[in-house]
Amino acid sequence: MLLAAASALVTTGIVFVAAPAFASSVTSAAFTGGTGTVTVGGTVYARNTGVLTLTVTTSSDTKCVDVSGAFTDHLQSGTARSSWTFGATAGAGNGVQAVTATASPSFNGQNKCTGSSGSAQASYTLDNTGPVVTAALSPAANAAGWDNSNVTITWSAADAGSGVGSGPTPANASQNGSTAGTTFTSNATDRLGNSGSGSVTVKLDKVSPTITGSRSPAANANGWNNTSVTASFTCSDALSGIKSCPGPTTASGNGAGQSVTGTAVDNADNQSSATVSGINIDRTAPTLSGTPTTSPNGAGWYNGTVAVHWSCADQAGLSGIDGACPGDSSIPGEGTGLTTSASVSDRAGNATTATSSPAVNIDRTPPVTTVTAPANWNNTDVTVALTAADALSGVAATDFRLDGGAQQTGTSVAISSEGVHTLQFWSVDKAGNTEAARTVQVLIDKTPPTINHTQSPPPNVNGWNNGNVTVTFSCADALSGLASCTGPQTVTSEGSGQPVTGTATDNAGNTATDPATVSIDKTPPTISAVPDRPANANGWYDGDVTVTFACADGLSGVDTCPAAKSLGEGADQSASGTAVDAAGNTASAGLSGINVDKTPPTLTAQFTGGWHTG
């Protein structure tokens, strides 16, 4: 059958369920208490082992009831009835304990409720905890749990279950003497007889802590410090202990008669103070300045030691200068931006080291002039370059005198005339240092040397030689002298007009040349003798024979060639001649074995008789 939704109305300890039309239904279920229980405001409270009774009222057709939830139980009856009672014993723990009672119209052979059923709920509350007993202190302890004045204790009790039955006992207490910890206890009981107690420990410290102060660093012999002074505090408390002790406090400002106060607080909030006084601080160094006592030259340079005067002071109201200002000092050495330094201290020990101002430029060293001039003789105009250098102040001017003449200023000296010249020179730097004068010689010779030559052997009248020829040169120079003169030159090769040049060079580089020509012909001329006709087959001529000479020379040429010669009658005659060339070389040629017979032969006949026909 369809089940309609059930609505429940819960009253204290009893749950009523308005059941739909079940075959069996529960009209009420409620707990009642016996020993170990109490009912307050309709709620049944039970402590452990408390006796409880659950009464269930059902419809009249109910034969079986099951209980489930905080405890379980089962009752059945062969005869239908409407009232059912279950016994229960309370257990440990706390809180609401609920059960559900279910009614059924029948049960089976296994003793299980069967059929359509209805149910209702009932509950009781377990209370096995005693009241909470709480102490209130007046005045209340501080956060560290301490008081520093008399304490009154007021007790109160509260119970979340059955309620307070008695107590708290005692209701009040007090603590008037200092103590590191005194514990007070009070008790209370709830309506079920559960007991509860509370305790509180009172810590009372009425004595202030001790505090002492010290300083670091200690003052110097003059009673001053030149750095920050740290005041440190030491705190102690015999009972509650130190809650706060001031940390180191630093006095850093300038001034006399300063002090630092610190306060100690113990854990009970008692306080004590201490002061570190007589702190004199001077952290400001004295002032110190040094100024040259003389001024530099117009170029901003000194060329000697510079004296410096010092002035000093200490800030008003502070420790003051310890002693006196430094005495005058000097700046030695040389260089740019030179200073000297001095120191002064005040009575607090602050020291100032200062450098003189303005920085000065000192140049004690004269400049150095480098001359660029030829070291030897020159054959042209000479320009002498004077280059001055000064490592510090720089060159102001370079001066010179040429050959003892007037002083001039400049770095280039032009010299054009021949001769030996003396140049004196020096420089001055911007600091006024003057270089020691030095000299350099300049040698100029523009005239070439002279040169001449001779030949050995000299040429013949034709200008020729027929052997080796040595050409010798002689040189001279009136000023710088000779640097070189060509030595003897021997010509051995044949040729016409062979050039042989000699050169003379003087020490200034001037040169002169002397050209010589040599003609040499070492080869004799050629000559041949030729008859004017050939001889007959017998080697005889029948008339005078003229012998002609032919001469030739391939170089110097023929100087003389022999004239033709005529040979008259005679046997084994000869004719010879000599050719001479222009160089004097000779060559001869001739003919021999020339037979000339100009006389006819004689013919003599002897006739011995007889006849001749022809």
Please indicate, yes or no, if residue 339 is contained in any of the structural domains.
yes
Structure tokens given for 596 = 């000339």
Q: Which of 347, 362, 377 is the last residue of a domain?
A: 362
For the chain, what percent of residues have pLDDT higher than 70? Answer: 95
Does one domain contain both 261 and 325? no
Q: Which of 126, 153, 175 is the last residue of a domain?
A: 126
Amino acid at 213: G
Please indicate, yes or no, if residue 607 is contained in any of the structural domains.
no
Please indicate, yes or no, if residue 611 is contained in any of the structural domains.
no
The structure tokens 């040979």 sit at: 567
Ordered DSSP codes for 577-599: EEEEETTS-EEEEEEEEEEE--S
**CA dihedral for 353, 358, 364, 367, sign (positive or negative):** positive
Residue 379: pLDDT over 90: yes
Q: What residues make up the domain containing 234?
A: 210-281
594 - beta bridge partners?
573
H helices, E strands: number in the chain? 0, 52
pLDDT band at 470 (very low <50, low <70, confident <90, very high): very high
Does one domain contain both 357 and 373? no
Question: What pLDDT shows up at residue 35?
Answer: 96
Does one domain contain both 67 and 172? no
Does one domain contain both 372 and 439? yes
Q: How far is CA 324 from CA 145, 336, 350, 454, in A?
A: 64, 30, 14, 100
Please indicate, yes or no, if residue 299 is contained in any of the structural domains.
yes
Does one domain contain both 117 and 18? yes
Please indicate, yes or no, if residue 222 is contained in any of the structural domains.
yes
Please indicate, yes or no, if residue 601 is contained in any of the structural domains.
no
Count other Cβ atoms within 10 Å, centred on residue 472.
16
Here the CATH number for the domain that contains residue 23 is 2.60.40
Here the CATH number for the domain that contains residue 391 is 2.60.40.10
Does one domain contain both 189 and 227? no
Does one domain contain both 328 and 396? no
The structure tokens 């009981």 sit at: 189
Does one domain contain both 139 and 158? yes
Q: How far is CA 411 from CA 323, 374, 384, 431, 544, in A?
A: 57, 16, 8, 19, 100
Does one domain contain both 505 and 436? no
Does one domain contain both 119 and 181? no
Going by their DSSP bridges, the two strands 438-444 and 377-378 should be labelled as: parallel
Does one domain contain both 113 and 17? yes
Question: What pLDDT shows up at residue 604?
Answer: 78
Structure tokens given for 161 = 């279950």
3-state secondary structure of 342: strand
- Could you read off the pLDDT of 388-420 as tens digits, one per residue? 999 999 999 999 999 999 999 999 999 999 999
Please indicate, yes or no, if residue 1 is contained in any of the structural domains.
no
Q: What angle (nearest 5°) sits at the alpha carbon of residue 613, between those of residues 608 and 614?
A: 95
- Could you read off the pLDDT of 414-464 as tens digits, one per residue? 999 999 999 999 999 999 999 999 999 999 999 999 999 999 999 999 999
Q: What's the whole-number mean pLDDT along residues 217-234?
A: 96
**Number of independent structural domains in the chain:** 7
Q: Which of 174, 204, 234 is the last residue of a domain?
A: 204
Look at residues 291, 287, 290 and name the one whose alpha carbon lies nearest to residue 350: 287
Does one domain contain both 106 and 155? no
- Could you read off the pLDDT of 103-143 as tens digits, one per residue? 999 999 999 999 999 999 999 999 999 999 999 999 999 99
Q: Please tell me whether the overall predicted TM-score, pTM, comes out greater than 0.75 for this model.
A: no
Please indicate, yes or no, if residue 26 is contained in any of the structural domains.
yes
**CA dihedral for 531, 536, 539, 544, sign (positive or negative):** negative
